[in-house]
């Protein structure tokens, strides 16, 4: 057994010169390749059948006007080309408006959640990792706990906490603040901020901003910021996910050799300098991982929206993932729904690549050393 594995496993590696064997017509390299493919075949078949194939089928559906009756692969299903996609971008109508609203909502959501959860996770990890802290296990478990709880259960709990007579509103009342009606408040916080600073009146926005704007939404609408209702979802998600990412940072922190830290101390580096010049650079791969995972997960936010708000109030918690579901399964426009999910997929891929490019290693010396 061990023999065969050793013989056949490294399929992609260029064949090293080997003693010829008697008998077979095929060369050793080809046999190795075939065996290699045979070994990976189960995974290829499973991935192909349950991942690639459904994606291709969905891709086909997104090019049709299938109405959900019978199989979408029958003759007679109207093929509409890229119309489902162009409708999201070029046609002035409800489809584009909803889609762009959902993009706007999700953009603000990502822009707040990803930095917030990363910083919070790093902070928690540093605290839990510090040698001064007593009861580390307890804090580790406490911070990690929200991550392992069902997102639906947590969402329901947050519904209660943020209800108009819930804990948060009561707490604010103690401090004499009349809190907002969280889940029914569709006002954008950026609008509120502009109003608070006296730069613009939310009830009577400046005409320069309301008159036009890209993709069917006015500049004023684009600049709304997340709504108050969306902020509750943002708080919920930051709280639940930072535990997971804390664990990743913690693992990376514990990998940093103490000797480096001590060397820094000997060189007279202060606490802050050590963090800035030793810890942070060594955490870079983990930081990349956390940011990428965060970016992907936040663009796909669905369950919290489904449980807590269903896109309400006033579509300010509508996200592309939820809109895709709604379009396909509520309005029976499966083509539009799948088109939205493919656009979402493209957005995530482009942003992940962009982020990779921004965080690329700019130190040529190190790069050569690595390769």
Partner 1 sequence: MKNRTVRTAVLGAACAALLATAACGSGFDDDKAAAPARQSAGPAELQILIGSSGDAETTAVKDAAAAWAQKSGSTATVTPAQDLAQQLGQAFAGDNPPDVFYVDASRFADYASVGALEPYADKLTGASDFYPSLRTTFTYDGTFYCAPKDFSTLALVINDDMWAKAGLGEGDVPTTWDQLREVSEKLKAKGVTPLAIADTRDRVGAFMVQAGGWITSPDGKQATADSPENLTALQYVQSLLKDKLAQFPSRLDAGWGGEAFGKGKAAMTIEGNWIKGALKADFPDVKYSVHELPAGPKGKGTLSFTNCWGVSAKSRFKQQAIDFVEAMTTVDQQMAFARAFGVMPSRQSAKDAYTKEFPADAPFVNGADYAQGPVNAPKMDSVLADFDTGIQKLTSSDPKALLERVQKNTQAALG
> Should residue 156 be labelled a site residue for partner 1 when binding is judged by CB under 8 A?
no
How far is it, in rounded angstroms, from Cα 324 to Cα 85? 13
How far is it, in rounded angstroms, from Cα 241 to Cα 121? 8
Of the pair 60, 139, the CB lying nearest partner 1 is at 60
Of the pair 163, 192, the CB lying nearest partner 1 is at 163
Answer for the pair 178, 327: CB distance below 8 angstroms, yes or no.
no
CB of 239 to partner 1, least distance (A): 23
Site string for partner 1, 79-98 (x = CB under 8 A): --------------xxx-xx
- The stretches of the chain forming alpha helices (DSSP H) are 2-8, 28-47, 53-61, 83-89, 94-129, 136-148, 151-161, 167-174, 189-196, 207-210, 219-222, 228-255, 258-266, 271-274, 280-282, 284-299, 303-308, 320-325, 334-358, 364-370
CB of 162 to partner 1, least distance (A): 11
How far is it, in rounded angstroms, from Cα 45 to Cα 54? 13
User: DSSP labels for 147-186?
Assistant: HHS-HHHHHHHHHHHTSTTSHHHHHHHHTT-----GGG--
Site string for partner 1, 274-313 (x = CB under 8 A): --------------------------------------xx
- Determine the interface stretch with partner 1 among 115-123, 136-144, 323-331, 356-364 (rule: CB under 8 A): 323-331
Site for partner 1 in 18-77 (CB under 8 A): 27, 29-30, 33-34, 37, 44-45, 48-49, 52-53, 56-57, 67-74
CB of 332 to partner 1, least distance (A): 6
Angle at 128 between CA 127 and CA 130, to 5 degrees: 65
- Determine the interface stretch with partner 1 among 126-134, 161-169, 234-242, 356-364 (rule: CB under 8 A): 161-169
User: Contacting partner 1 (CB under 8 A), which of 163, 269, 347, 359?
Assistant: 163
**Among 44, 85, 41, CA closest to 61:** 85
Of the pair 18, 277, the CB lying nearest partner 1 is at 18
Cβ burial of 88 (10 Å; 0-12, 13-18, 19+) is buried
Residue 302's contacts (CB-CB under 8 Å, 6 or more residues apart) are 319, 321, 322, 325
CB of 33 to partner 1, least distance (A): 4
Binding-site size, partner 1 (CB under 8 A): 49
Of the pair 314, 347, the CB lying nearest partner 1 is at 314
Site string for partner 1, 202-221 (x = CB under 8 A): -x------------------
CB of 266 to partner 1, least distance (A): 53
Bond before 366 cis per omega within 30 degrees: no
Site for partner 1 in 330-359 (CB under 8 A): 330-334
- Determine the interface stretch with partner 1 among 117-125, 276-284, 324-332, 350-358 (rule: CB under 8 A): 324-332
Of the pair 147, 312, the CB lying nearest partner 1 is at 312
DSSP-based three-state secondary structure for 1: coil
136-148 helix and 94-129 helix, angle to the nearest 10 degrees: 170
Question: Which residues contribute to the site for partner 1 (CB under 8 A)?
Answer: 14-15, 27, 29-30, 33-34, 37, 44-45, 48-49, 52-53, 56-57, 67-74, 93-95, 97-98, 163-165, 181, 183-184, 186, 203, 312-315, 326-327, 329-334
């Amino acid at each position: 057994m061990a023999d065969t594995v050793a013989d056949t496993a490294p399929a992609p590696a260029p064949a090293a010169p080997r003693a010829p064997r008697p008998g077979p017509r095929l060369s050793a390299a080809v046999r190795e390749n075939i065996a290699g493919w045979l070994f990976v075949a189960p995974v290829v078949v499973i991935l192909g059948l349950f991942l690639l194939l459904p994606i291709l089928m969905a891709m086909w559906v997104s090019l049709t006007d299938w109405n959900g009756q019978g199989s979408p692969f029958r003759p007679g299903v109207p093929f509409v080309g890229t119309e489902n996609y162009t409708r999201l971008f070029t046609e002035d109508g409800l489809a584009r408006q909803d889609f762009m609203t959902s993009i706007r909502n999700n953009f603000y959501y990502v822009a707040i959640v990803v930095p917030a959860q990363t910083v919070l996770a790093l902070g928690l990890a540093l605290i839990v990792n510090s040698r001064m802290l007593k009861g580390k296990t307890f804090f580790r478990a406490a911070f990690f706990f929200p991550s392992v709880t069902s997102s639906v259960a947590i969402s329901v709990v947050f519904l209660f906490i943020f209800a108009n007579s819930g804990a948060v509103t009561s707490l604010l009342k103690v401090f004499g603040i009349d809190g907002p009606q969280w889940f029914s408040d569709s006002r954008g916080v950026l609008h509120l901020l502009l109003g608070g600073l006296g730069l613009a009146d939310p009830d009577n926005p400046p005409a320069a901003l309301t008159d036009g704007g890209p993709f069917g939404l006015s500049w004023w609408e684009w600049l709304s910021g997340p709504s108050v209702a969306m902020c509750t979802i943002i708080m919920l998600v930051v709280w639940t996910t930072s535990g997971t990412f804390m664990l990743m940072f913690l693992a990376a922190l514990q990998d940093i050799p103490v000797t480096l830290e001590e060397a820094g101390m000997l060189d007279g580096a202060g606490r802050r300098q050590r963090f800035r010049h030793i810890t942070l650079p060594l955490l870079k791969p983990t930081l990349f991982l956390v940011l990428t995972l965060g970016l992907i997960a936040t663009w796909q936010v669905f369950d919290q929206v489904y449980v807590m708000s269903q896109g309400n109030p006033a579509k300010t918690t509508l996200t592309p993932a939820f809109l895709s579901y709604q379009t396909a399964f509520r309005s029976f426009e499966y083509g539009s729904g799948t088109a939205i999910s493919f656009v979402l997929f493209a957005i995530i891929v482009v942003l992940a690549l962009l982020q990779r490019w921004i965080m690329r290693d700019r130190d040529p010396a190190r790069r050569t050393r690595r390769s």
